[in-house]
Amino acid sequence: MTSPVRFLLTGLVALAAASLSSKATSAQSANRVTGTSIYAVTKQYLAVAPKRWVGSSGHAKAVDFIKSHFAAEAAKGNFEVDSFSASTPAGLLPMQNMIVRYPGKKEGVIVLGSHYETNYPLRDINFVGANDGAATTALLIELGAYLRTHPPDGYSVWLVFFDGEEAIQAWSAADSLYGSRHLAARWSSNGTLPKIRGFLLADMVGDKDLNIDHDVNSTPWLLDLLPVAARNTGHSSSIFKNSTQVEDDHIPFVKRGVPSLDIIDLDYGPPTAEHPEGGYHHTELDTLDKVSPRSLETAADLFLAMLPLINQHR
């Protein structure tokens, strides 16, 4: 039989332990970006702008949605809309990159990027790009919310929402990567590129079976750092199952000498003859139910873990 005093002490110890556990969990949550929050923003984004091909009303709504999350940065002059006109197979099309700046404490910049629009050739089908554009847009938005309350203590961090990553007619060097090609050229001419210490690109990281590719088009020393970030966050099993050679928004920066890393999982859904990289890619099956909060949290952990590693790199 347990004495009343012992029972009371046991209960008090249990309550204290529960309180400490709750505080620890809250502190841990405050120091990371959760997959639940990214998934929620993805869902909101898809509700507002499910079809976001360049020139559409949905594209304009997508721009407004992203802007709405950065009012605080805009008020400080740290939000920029980079508007330009792109010559495409469909004629001259207006496009917009969006740049959000979080000042750091030492000279230099780390850029985190993703594209936010949907595939133009698929505009006539029910393609919403839940994984291919929406989830990574939400990832950047939530990374921005984190950086707002956890300002960089090393290099500044800039978020870039790229427009026009997708081809307008058929993928080629001239018909793709419109926003990143434009911004890389612009930053080259105005002296910004030499300030960039690392560029991390997010693409298709919401896959339920997440495994980040070893992209041989990425910068070797950044490829070397990603396994370190993965070990530090307990996500080693989520990287480098496959080796790929990806043409993505990092390429215009790689070509201009910027250290760049594409964090992408091309293996999205069961492969088909038409889509050997995964049967959901660029199809109507790329929907919210294919996206995993757990994978999104893994991606967020990796991005945040890469920041101090780049700051420490010599």
Average pLDDT for 21-31: 45
Number of domains comprising the chain: 1
Task: Tell me the residue range of the domain where 304 lies.
Answer: 42-312
- At 31 the pLDDT is 74
- At 6 the pLDDT is 35
- Whether the CB-CB separation of 227 and 249 falls below 8 Å is answered with no
- At 312 the pLDDT is 97
- 285 within a domain of the structure (yes/no): yes
pLDDT of 314 strictly over 80: no
pLDDT of 313 strictly over 60: yes
61: confidence class by pLDDT, cuts 50, 70, 90? very high
Token pair of 131, please? 């994984």
- 125 within a domain of the structure (yes/no): yes
pLDDT of 198 strictly over 70: yes
CATH number at residue 234: 3.40.630.10
- At 126 the pLDDT is 97
What are the C-alpha distances in Å from 66 to residues 40, 44, 198, 301?
14, 11, 23, 22
- 15 within a domain of the structure (yes/no): no
- 12 within a domain of the structure (yes/no): no
**Cα three-residue angle 59-60-62, rounded to 5 degrees:** 65
Query: What are the tens digits of pLDDT across the range 37-56?
Result: 999 999 999 999 999 999 99
Amino acid identity, position 84: F
Task: Tell me what the pLDDT averaged over the chain comes to.
Answer: 92
Distance, CA of 53 to chain centre? 19
- At 28 the pLDDT is 44
71: confidence class by pLDDT, cuts 50, 70, 90? very high
- 257 within a domain of the structure (yes/no): yes
Instruction: Report helix, strand or coil for 131.
Output: helix
- At 32 the pLDDT is 86
- At 278 the pLDDT is 81
- 8 within a domain of the structure (yes/no): no
Query: What are the tens digits of pLDDT across the range 276-304?
Result: 878 999 999 999 999 999 999 999 999 99
Query: What are the tens digits of pLDDT across the range 127-154?
Result: 999 999 999 999 999 999 999 999 999 9
- 143 within a domain of the structure (yes/no): yes
- At 30 the pLDDT is 62
Amino acid identity, position 312: Q
Average pLDDT for 104-122: 98
The CA distance from 140 to 219, in Å, is 21
- 21 within a domain of the structure (yes/no): no
